[in-house]
Amino acid sequence: MGTERIRTLVVDDEKPARMRLVELLQREPDVELAGTAADGREALDVLRRVRPDLLFLDVQMPQLDGFGVLQQLAPDELPITILVTAYDKYAIQAFDAHAIDYLLKPFSDQRFDDAIGRARKYVASADVRAQAEDLTAAAEERLSVDARSGFLERLVLKSNGCITFLDVVEVDWIEAAGVYIYLHAGPHKHLYRSSVTQLLQRLNPHRFVRIHRSAAVNTSRIRELQTLSHGDFTLILKNGTELTLSRAYRSHVEAWLRQPI
């Protein structure tokens, strides 16, 4: 592993973008440029033939885009990947949720240096499997964003090498837990890497409303609201769970109800 160079593949449909990355990579002494591809199909082809250690993958490409490519690859076919995008709000949200490394176009030499630095660490640790899971999860989530409304329809959860899908409609309520959140769905609670705020931005605001600094609720699960003292309320869900609606978020609920409470 030590003296071997990092074999890298660059995939982007726009020639200047390929040029940019190629030029930067050629300056790195421990990197060997293993090839380039100009679209998704070509990328799959070259990837399987060359088996690079590192992949720079553009998201927006005609016909088969970056996520399409990721979906088509088996976990052991996925190299360490840095995704590249000009502008894709939903992709970036998915990347953040699954700790994917990505580059935003146009990027400076410095930003590239940081990214390749991180990639080196990944390659050295040979922890490819964990990243492969994250990549697949991010791809699945991005693809589950409803094309018309732009809202997330499905969440991807990872645990112990297993990927599970959770439909957004199945979530009863969301609870903050440090850097993560718990997604309560029926009797289960699932850990998901995100903040309450970040997740709510991706969800339909009519379906999920924030009730507390650390909680948000699926509106279809609300059974009743009871007044407490000091302007707080108790929210009771259909399954009996009792939550507090804090004063600070009362206006959120009023906005959803379209009437004062």
Interface residues with another protein (CB under 8 A) are: 13-17, 19-20, 23, 38-39, 41, 60, 62-63, 86-87, 104-108
Closest separation in Å from C-beta 52 to another protein: 21
Q: Which residue has the tokens 């990944």?
A: 122
How many whole angstroms separate alpha carbon 245 and alpha carbon 201? 19
Cβ proximity to another protein: between 53 and 66 the closer is 66
Cβ proximity to another protein: between 14 and 232 the closer is 14
Cβ proximity to another protein: between 22 and 163 the closer is 22
Closest separation in Å from C-beta 236 to another protein: 41
| Contact (CB, 8 A) for 91 and 144 | no
Cβ proximity to another protein: between 62 and 178 the closer is 62
Closest separation in Å from C-beta 168 to another protein: 26
Residue 203 CA to chain centroid, in angstroms? 13
Q: Where are the alpha helices (DSSP H) in the chain?
A: 15-26, 40-50, 66-72, 89-97, 109-125, 128-143, 196-202, 250-257
Closest separation in Å from C-beta 239 to another protein: 42
Closest separation in Å from C-beta 39 to another protein: 5
**Paired tokens of 121:** 């660490």
| Contact (CB, 8 A) for 11 and 28 | no
| Contact (CB, 8 A) for 56 and 82 | yes
Cβ proximity to another protein: between 23 and 77 the closer is 23
**The one-letter amino acid at 168:** V
> Residue 245's beta-bridge partner residues?
233
Q: Count the Cβ atoms, other than its own, within 10 Å of residue 136.
A: 21
Closest separation in Å from C-beta 15 to another protein: 4
Closest separation in Å from C-beta 20 to another protein: 4
Cβ proximity to another protein: between 106 and 240 the closer is 106
How many whole angstroms separate alpha carbon 145 and alpha carbon 139? 10
**The one-letter amino acid at 59:** V
Cα(first)–Cα(last) distance of the chain, in Å? 65
Cβ proximity to another protein: between 108 and 229 the closer is 108
